[in-house]
Amino acid sequence: MSSYYVRPMSPEDVPQVNEIDREAFPGQWPPPNYKRELQNQVARYIVACEEGIVLPPPRATKAFHPTITSRLRSWLFPQPNHTADASQGRDFIVGFAGIWLMVDEAHITNIAVRQQYRRRGIGELLLIHLTELALAMNARLLTLEVRASNTAAQNLYLKFGFCKAGVRRGYYTDNREDGIIMSTPPLTSTTFQESFRQRKQEHTRKWHIESYRLATPPHQQP
């Protein structure tokens, strides 16, 4: 059985995340800009990676010779350097998820898994990490919207303590489908904490998860 670990998303992950996003949400327009999202102060994104699989490093590109204009622009508008070591491989990403912290509510923006990796507990794994991330950020509750037709996702959220809280009519722009609003009880409530603990135990037993802490990729560990 394959094993997976979850870690924060990095800029180098964006090409794979875009692939997964387009597969999972083909009708979404405009597509999210995840490079920009990683700079969003209220956003947090995580990725699930398959243990033991490392993609080859990207091919080297032609040398860039900056013009006077580009040098001036970089001096006036310096950008953080997110360039990865080209000698290192890349993790193989099988899913990703994100939340926005809005005042005291953590809003789940998306949870997506590669089609061939679905029904392996990865969506649940990401949801567990998002919940623990929301708790660490002192969020009062978790909220989200889900398509009215996506009963599989709704059942997952119901399993993890979410309740249907309303409807956004015509919420999805591709086909004007309604969005079901779902929300948890207070995350620190005894009821939610006990239910969440039980769901984690069930997930651990079924999928043999050793730890739910955000990980450091094995090939990047010192």
Identify the burial level of 46 via C-beta atoms within 10 angstroms of its C-beta, where 0-12 means exposed, 13-18 middle and 19 or more buried: buried
| Residues with active-site annotation | 145, 157
Whose tokens are 């079924």? That residue is: 206
E-strand ranges in the chain read 4-8, 43-55, 90-102, 105-113, 141-147, 163-168, 179-183
Closest CA to 141 of 97, 95, 193, 203: 193
Residue-wise DSSP of 132-193: HHHHHTT-SEEEEEEETT-HHHHHHHHHTT-EEEEEETT--TTT---EEEEE-S-TTSHHHH
Closest CA to 109 of 121, 95, 97: 97
Taking the CA atoms of 163, 169, 171 and 175 in sequence, report the sign of the dihedral they define: positive
Tokens of 148: 């009215």
CA gap 200, 99 in Å, rounded = 20
CA gap 164, 184 in Å, rounded = 9
